[in-house]
Chain A
Amino acid sequence: MNRNRHTARLGALLLGALVATTGWAQQPATAAPAAAAVNPVAPEAIQALKDMGTYLQTLQRFSVTTRVTGERVLADGQKLQHSAKATMDVARPNRLRARITTARAERELTFNGKVATLYTPAQKYYSSVEVDDTVTGLVRRLHQRYGIEVPLADLFLWGTAAAPLEGFESAMNAGQDFVDDDLCDHYAFRQGSLDWQVWIKAGSQPLPRRLVITNRADEARPQSVSLIQWNLKPTFKDAIFTLVPSPGAQRVELVPLKTR
Chain B
Amino acid sequence: MTIMIRLLAVALTGAFLATVAQPAAEAAGDRRGGGGGAGAGARAGGGGGAKAKPQVSNTNRDARSGNVRSTSVSNVNNNVNVNKNVNVNVDADRRGCCGWDNDYHPVATAAAVTATVAVTSAVIGSIVNAPPPGCVPVNYGGIIYQQCGGTWYAPQGPQFVVVSPPY
The answer on A and B forming one complex is yes
Q: B75's contact among A74, A213, A257, A259, by CB below 8 Å, is which?
A: A213
- A149 with B103, Cβ < 8 A, contacts A213-B72, A218-B70 known: no
Tell whether A89 is near chain B: CB-to-CB under 8 Å.
yes
B residues less than 8 Å from A255 (CB atoms):
138-140, 167
Chain A CB within 8 A of B150 CB: no
Q: Is A245 positioned at the interface, with any CB of B under 8 Å from its CB?
A: no
- How long is the Cα–Cα vector from A80 to B62 in the complex, in angstroms? 12
Question: B68 contacts the other chain (Cβ, under 8 Å)?
Answer: yes
Is there an interface contact between A154 and B76, defined as CB atoms closer than 8 Å?
A: yes
Task: Given A194-B80, A229-B37, A255-B139, check contact A122 B28 (CB 8 Å).
Answer: yes
Do B75 and A149 touch (CB < 8 A)?
yes
The reply to whether B141 and A148 contact each other, CB–CB distance below 8 Å, is yes
Residue B51 interfacial (CB < 8 Å): no
CB contacts (< 8 Å) of B144 on chain A: these are 120, 123, 125, 252
Chain B residues positioned under 8 Å from A196 (CB to CB): 76
A153 touches B75 (CB 8 A): yes
Contact yes or no, B137 A250, CB < 8 A: yes
Contact B38 A105 (CB under 8 A): no
A194/B73 in contact, CB under 8 A: yes
- B42 A231 Cβ-Cβ under 8 A: yes
Residue from A65, A103, A143, A234 within 8 A of B56 (CB atoms): A103
Number of interface residues of B (CB under 8 A): 62
Contacts A157-B78, A255-B138 given; does A147 touch B97 at CB 8 Å: yes
A149 CA / B94 CA spacing, docked (Å): 12
Say whether B74 contacts A68, CB under 8 Å: yes
Given contacts A192-B80, A194-B80, A255-B139, contact A235 B43 (CB under 8 A): yes
- Does A106 have its Cβ within 8 Å of any Cβ on chain B? yes
Q: What residues on B are CB-neighbors of A123 within 8 Å?
A: 137, 144, 155
Question: Which residue of B has the minimal Cβ distance to A157?
Answer: B77
A198 to chain B, nearest CB (A): 8
Q: A50: CB under 8 A from chain B?
A: no
User: How far is A201 from B72 in the complex, measured between Cα atoms in Å?
Assistant: 25
* Complex Cα spacing A222 to B73, Å: 8
In whole angstroms, how far apart are the Cα atoms of A234 and B28 in the complex? 31
Contacting A at CB under 8 A, from B49-101, are: 56, 58, 64-65, 67-81, 83-84, 89-91, 94-101
Q: List 28 A-B contacts (CB under 8 A).
A: A72-B102, A100-B101, A120-B144, A121-B31, A122-B27, A125-B137, A143-B96, A147-B96, A147-B141, A148-B100, A148-B142, A149-B96, A157-B78, A167-B80, A211-B76, A213-B75, A218-B70, A226-B74, A234-B38, A236-B42, A236-B45, A254-B140, A255-B139, A255-B167, A257-B95, A257-B141, A257-B167, A258-B167
Q: Give me the interface of B with A, judged by CB distance under 8 Å.
A: 7, 27-28, 31-34, 37-39, 41-43, 45, 56, 58, 64-65, 67-81, 83-84, 89-91, 94-104, 108-109, 137-142, 144, 155-157, 167
3 closest A-B pairs by beta carbon, nearest first, are A65-B38, A222-B72, A84-B101
